[in-house]
Amino acid sequence: MMSNTKVFLTACACLLVAPAYSSFGQNSPKPKSAQPNTQVQVRPDTAAAPSSSDSPEKSPASVAPSAPPRAAHSLDTGQVDSDRPTLEHRNPRYRVMRDDVLVLTFPLSPEFNQTITIEPDGYVTLLGAGSVYIQEMTVPEVIEALKKAYSKILRDPVIDVDLKDFQKPFFLVLGQVGKPGQYDLRYDTTVSQAIAIAGSFSADAKTQVFLFHRVSPGWVEVKKLSLKNILHGKNVNEDLHLQAGDMIYVPVNFISNFKKYVPYSTGLYFNPSSKFF
């Protein structure tokens, strides 16, 4: 009975091992579910196009153009850059201001001859051509603006502009001088000459002065000058020439500031308690 049972179990074991033994050494097939994850389908129209990471310079949408330098932008457009001072001209032209009086002459159309005054807002009222803004313009720029305005009623207008009354050049001297105030700049004047015109230094003046020069509407250049050295023949080239609108400030010396808080005076004092020999 026992032997029959062993024979039966042996036969069952052979039946279970036979399928596995027959497939031993053969590669098992890969599951079909893994194929979509390993294959990539590429469309023909996108396969030939280069990726933006390989050639970014060929993709105008992915690469923003570099901004031009600030100085180059100002030169190309002619606009004044508020972040930095503009270049100065060696011989700048006068720019008309409010209350300036201009005489307009039309050689071919004398009926339009007129005298105009720049209003506080910078506009002028023209005969038969309305209002035009001309403040801060040079005379050639004013002529072009007037020609553009009169081109609506005249063909190729010829206009001459003369300054009849305008703001005279001036300079300011402030601080510790004899007569502080505004003075006309009638001739070539240096800083030391300007202080002499303003009454020279006062007793409380410091010989180191400050010169303020407007470079552009938003920028002012400040220079510190030692007039003590200039008047003693040292560094005479530092005695700068003034330009229209310059301002000189003469500060108070240290002793004068000190006297405000610690009163004192110089001289000899007699002490009755002291003994004389």
| Percent of the chain at pLDDT exceeding 70 | 58
Quickly state the pLDDT bin for 232 (edges 50, 70, 90): confident
Write a three-state SS string for 19-57. HHHHCCCCCCCCCHHHHHHHCCCCCHHHHCCCCCCCCHH
Q: Which domains does the chain have, with CATH numbers?
A: 101-165 (3.30.1950.10), 170-260 (3.10.560.10)
Q: What is the pLDDT of residues 234-267, one digit of tens each?
A: 878 888 999 888 999 999 886 655 555 555 555 5
| Percent of the chain at pLDDT exceeding 90 | 36
Q: What is the pLDDT of residues 2-30, one digit of tens each?
A: 556 665 666 666 665 555 544 444 444 45
What pLDDT is recorded for position 233?
A: 82
72 has a pLDDT exceeding 50 = no
Quickly state the pLDDT bin for 71 (edges 50, 70, 90): very low
Report the largest interatomic distance among the alpha carbons of the chain, rounded to a whole angstrom. 158
Cβ count near 96 (within 10 Å)? 23
CA distance 175 to 93: 31
What pLDDT is recorded for position 215?
A: 80
**In terms of pLDDT, which residue wins out, 154 or 48?**
154
Q: What is the pLDDT of residues 83-115, one digit of tens each?
A: 555 555 566 788 898 889 999 999 999 999 999
Q: What is the pLDDT of residues 138-182, one digit of tens each?
A: 999 999 999 999 999 999 999 999 999 888 889 999 999 999 999
Per-chain mean pLDDT for the chain: 74
Q: Are 221 and 213 in contact (CB under 8 A)?
A: yes
59 has a pLDDT exceeding 60 = no
**Mean pLDDT calculated for residue range 194-215:** 90
Q: Phi and psi at residue 259, in whole multiples of 5°?
A: -70, -20
